[in-house]
């Protein structure tokens, strides 16, 4: 089966299972989305969603967040892990957004990547989910499934992102990246399936016998 045929099967199957793709991080603005995505690094969405209401009650804009003390932010976000770095980044990026972008989160991915604590993946999530600009953020689920589905050789997340963008049409990226994440969490987890058991793996590779060992990003 050709890669393009597998891509068609994957898109059709994911659209059937996940016709709607609600954003898993609760937020009411692009600033809240940016902070939530930053906090989600090495942390579950569920935990982030438990922490952010307290944080956003104190400050739900860059201007307000910039006035908080570091320890105030740190004590709230501590359950998310990597709290010292995340609290510092949130405070610094809030000051930068307030001063350089008039309090509004920039829509340019390059400007976002220059903010403290904001890497390419975080910036991609913000532009895709916050501004509806086509992007294909690659997390561990997408990196794993791209290898199991034979869509990328998985050398690193940058290569995986490039490979997926070549295979799928641009207008599908924003929805598709969430669909793959949802599918990976529900049906093709890191320590299950291994490219042998879930519906998509079985359809795309019916004769596969050996487990797919994921190359780490």
pLDDT above 70 covers a percentage of the chain that reads 100
Q: Has residue 170 been placed in a domain?
A: yes
Return the pLDDT at 137.
94
* Same domain assignment for residues 39 and 119: yes
* Same domain assignment for residues 97 and 140: no
Nearest in space to 100 (alpha carbons), one of 59, 62, 144 = 62
Mark which of 81, 98, 130 sits at the end of a domain.
Answer: 130
CB-based contacts of 165-173 (< 8 A; 24+ apart in sequence): 165/136, 167/3, 167/4, 167/7, 168/7, 168/11, 168/136, 170/134, 171/134, 172/11, 173/128, 173/134, 173/135, 173/136
Whether the pLDDT of residue 185 is over 70: the answer is yes
Q: How many structural domains comprise the chain?
A: 2
Mark which of 69, 102, 130 sits at the end of a domain.
Answer: 130
Whether the pLDDT of residue 119 is over 90: the answer is yes
Segment 65-93, tens digit of pLDDT: 999 999 999 999 999 999 999 999 999 99
Q: What is the mean pLDDT of the chain?
A: 95
Tell me the catalytic residues. Answer: 121, 139
Q: What mean pLDDT is predicted for residues 86-106?
A: 98
- pLDDT band of residue 167 (cuts 50, 70, 90) is very high
Return the pLDDT at 207.
94
- Enclosing domain of residue 158: 3-20+136-204
Segment 152-163, tens digit of pLDDT: 987 889 999 999
* Same domain assignment for residues 92 and 114: yes
Whether the pLDDT of residue 216 is over 80: the answer is no
Q: Has residue 151 been placed in a domain?
A: yes
Return the pLDDT at 217.
67
Q: What mean pLDDT is predicted for residues 121-146?
A: 95
Rounded to two decimals, the pTM is: 0.92
- DSSP-assigned letter for residue 171: G
Whether the pLDDT of residue 134 is over 70: the answer is yes
Q: Has residue 25 been placed in a domain?
A: no
What's the rounded Cα separation, in Å, for the pair 76 and 204?
45
- pLDDT band of residue 214 (cuts 50, 70, 90) is confident
Mark which of 110, 130, 150 sits at the end of a domain.
Answer: 130
* Same domain assignment for residues 155 and 68: no
CA dist list (Å): 175 to 98, 144, 196 = 30, 18, 25
Segment 17-54, tens digit of pLDDT: 999 999 999 999 999 999 999 999 989 999 999 999 99
Query: Which CATH number goes with the domain that contains 169?
Result: 1.10.1670.10
Contacts of 208 (CB under 8 A, 6+ apart): 195, 196, 201
């Amino acid at each position: 089966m050709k890669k393009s045929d597998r891509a068609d099967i994957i898109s059709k199957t994911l659209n059937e299972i996940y016709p709607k793709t609600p954003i898993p991080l609760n937020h009411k603005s692009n600033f809240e989305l940016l902070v939530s995505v930053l906090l989600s690094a090495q942390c579950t969405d569920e935990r982030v969603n438990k922490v952010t209401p307290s944080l956003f009650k104190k400050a739900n804009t860059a201007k307000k967040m910039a006035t908080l003390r570091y320890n105030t932010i740190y004590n709230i976000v501590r359950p998310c892990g990597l709290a010292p770095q995340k609290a510092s980044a949130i405070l610094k990026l809030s000051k930068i957004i307030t001063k350089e972008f008039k309090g509004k989160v920039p829509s340019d991915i390059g400007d976002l990547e220059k903010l403290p604590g904001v890497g390419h993946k975080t910036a991609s999530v913000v532009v895709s989910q916050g501004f509806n600009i086509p992007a294909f953020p690659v997390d561990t689920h997408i990196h794993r499934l791209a290898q199991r589905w034979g869509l990328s050789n998985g050398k690193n997340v940058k290569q995986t992102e490039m490979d997926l963008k070549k295979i799928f049409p641009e207008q599908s990226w924003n929805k598709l990246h969430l669909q793959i994440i949802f599918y990976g969490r529900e049906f093709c987890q890191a320590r299950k399936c291994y490219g042998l058991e879930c519906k998509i793996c079985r359809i795309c590779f019916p004769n596969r016998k050996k487990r797919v060992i994921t190359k780490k990003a």
